[in-house]
Structure 1
């Protein structure tokens, strides 16, 4: 076997490999001898089939198997002997004249070119030099009381009302929608509850139900938002023929122990403690995301190295596909987003490169520090995901059990969080008191954008 390096450019390597016909024939003969005791052919006793006859019957399939095995073994030796870590699977190209069945009759050298893209050697920075701020929000009694009130409002009883509907009332309606005088898909509904003022419908829809009484028919004129999910309706004027079937007024809810018991709590005080605990948890999650983002920014600044182009391309293609799907779903263009396709592509290429680089850095940190995710931790995470689909837990569990890629998608974020925890133990983390508005400001800005 001859292996000749033909390219060494950055993270790309290429080799010319030639395996002699004698080596291939020897492997094929050895495999045919193995088959002697396994195959059954009419006219021959088990184990007594002549090798020449086996070669006529199974020769092509055996040579195909031998060639594939030889290529895999040879590529493996190239990687192992040179200490490479592969970014992607090797790309193999047979030499001209060796395509099709020309090799499968035996007696010919195997010659092919293999292209490799390897992972870079990463010099890790000093994590003790990293400084990040952890925002801390104090949960006030007013915030707890406000949340409890929202829970109470969502659980208000409704009772039939005499007279026209007003803000805060619940109106039950049947409706049929028209665009350009034609009914459209999804534009009909029966016994639909509309809470006036909830902003749960198309802008202007709820407001035009104010003053309506049970049994009344109304025609509502609205315009679908430009960013409406159904792009065929986005920005279009529509009319809805509405029949008001009933009007119900919201009753008052007393914030007391009895109300708390309807929510599975022993008392109002316990309900407030439960609500406070959830708010603390939500704030901690938001603070964690800010700290993690700052940590990743610091890691990115510490580690600048060439990343495998193939991995960047894979990451970019995934991101770019989702971006275009989102725009198509909203009926929008890059111009609507204040950019061009070329500018957006360049931006997302940078994002993809950053993601790949940080992923490699986190993986290197985890490997060097023996950070692992146990099977038990993965199982717990899968169980939690299954619980999000009541009645389908078993199907979800089976899906993850049978699908390695899905299981890997569970393990990866667990590993990432463990590495982040490890880094935060080494980094200089200082707490900074902030308001709730400051904590969520960046998130709100992103939503607005």
Structure 2
């Protein structure tokens, strides 16, 4: 066997593997013998099928399989020994497809593989690198919305005679024909129409002041801003049907529901925070402000991570073997069209560059990722998922058992590992660069570009 490398440039190389009969025949003969022991063929006792018979019947397919296995083993070992950092996977060169072999156990074979190489680059983060870290403060409008939401969540349902802003119309919706008549065999459904979700102000105004039994015509696409998911939820149809709807609907009010806001009294405060923890409206607002700004801190951290991501890409300039990577993407995604490849390649390349940068930071910064860190991160993620469905948290022992089971799935474990690595990489960069800390109102923060 002979294996050699022909470097095309710093990002592309070709590995050539030459096999002669002496290289592959021992493996093929061994595979034929093993097949003979297991074969069940009419006229022969189990385990007594002559190897010559197996070779005559299945020899070529066994030869192909063994050579493919041999090529894979040989190539992987070569890449490891040569310490080549490969992007994607090696691709057989097209001219190899045109070579004709007899496959008669006496051929000399030559296989060529295109390989894309990771670029060499340096990362030099110092305290001179500066990125803004925002401390988000809650504005009055955001606080008012949060207070209203909480008071409504603990409020009581009433049924006023006439609808007002933010009410819910329990209604029958019936699809109409273009002439305004009821569409035969059309869509009909009884649903709760929340006025706070209506996007079109004119339509929303037409739904205010309605009584039980009133009818109005509803342009459902305009009402929900062409949001297929919301329309599908109201009409109980699939999103594709909702997106294609052109019809108006007749809305008949069956009931007006109103959620009255809870009073700001001690009973309400105790339900929210525990007995005696909050005793005044001022204390209530302080608690809500603290809660809102804690949630906003997550937005600030996401913004900071995104800014570090973009700053790193701009600061660390290097090329990728783009043409090779495009061929590799096409080879591994048969349904990928040229248009999809071209439109999505830049995002793919950015994410790949960030992966290389993160790996470099991990190596140069001696960042170690321990199993306990992966386990605790997975446990925290699972706890958050469970809390989304139940206010009562799982017992610690049970949560730990779920985490162990979760990490036994290799794909899930790798995902958590990468998330932990990303967090540690961002933390490392934050410890090296200068963070310019600024306070900003939530409304102004939302206007910032990512």
TM range (shorter): 0.7 to 0.9
After TM superposition, list the pairs within 5 Å mapping 1:14-413 onto structure 2.
14-32=14-32, 52=52, 55-56=55-56, 59-93=59-93, 94=96, 96-98=98-100, 102-103=102-103, 105-138=104-137, 147-162=146-161, 164-178=162-176, 180-181=178-179, 183=183, 187-190=187-190, 192-196=191-195, 198-200=196-198, 204-220=202-218, 224=222, 227-229=226-228, 238-263=247-272, 265-267=274-276, 269=278, 275-309=288-322, 310-311=324-325, 349-368=345-364, 369-372=366-369, 374=371, 375-377=374-376, 379-380=378-379, 383-384=382-383, 387=386, 390=389, 404-413=410-419
In structure 2, C-alpha distance between the alignment counterparts of 1:228 and 1:427, rounded to whole Å: 42
Moved more, 369-378 or 306-315: 306-315
Moved more, 111-120 or 4-13: 4-13
Moved more, 125-134 or 200-209: 200-209
Q: State the secondary structure of the residue aligned to 1:306.
A: coil
Cα contact 2:89–2:328 (8 A) shared by 1: no
1:86: Cα distance to partner? 1.1
Deviations 1:4-27 (A, max 9, x none): 434513411113321111221133
Distance 1:317 1:425, change over 3 A: farther
Deviations 1:262-299 (A, max 9, x none): 44743572865653443232221122123223322331
In structure 2, C-alpha distance between the alignment counterparts of 1:424 and 1:317, rounded to whole Å: 39
Cα contact 1:176–1:240 (8 A) shared by 2: yes
Task: Give the structure-1-normalised TM-score.
Answer: 0.75
Structure 1: give runs of 5+ residues left out of the alignment. 325-340
Number of residues of Structure 1 aligned to a counterpart in Structure 2: 415
Distance 1:387 1:405, change over 3 A: same
Q: State the secondary structure of the residue aligned to 2:448.
A: helix
Q: Which protein has greater RCO, CA pairs closer than 8 Å, 6+ apart?
A: 2
In structure 1, C-alpha distance between the alignment counterparts of 2:44 and 2:439, rounded to whole Å: 88
1:433: Cα distance to partner? 2.1
Distance 1:73 1:184, change over 3 A: farther
Distance 1:154 1:186, change over 3 A: farther
Distance 1:21 1:201, change over 3 A: same
- Tell me the residue number matched to 1:423: 429
Q: State the secondary structure of the residue aligned to 2:304.
A: helix
- Tell me the residue number matched to 2:236: none
In structure 1, C-alpha distance between the alignment counterparts of 2:285 and 2:194, rounded to whole Å: 26
Deviations 1:94-141 (A, max 9, x none): 453446xx32x3121122111111212232223443211211234589
RMSD: 4.4
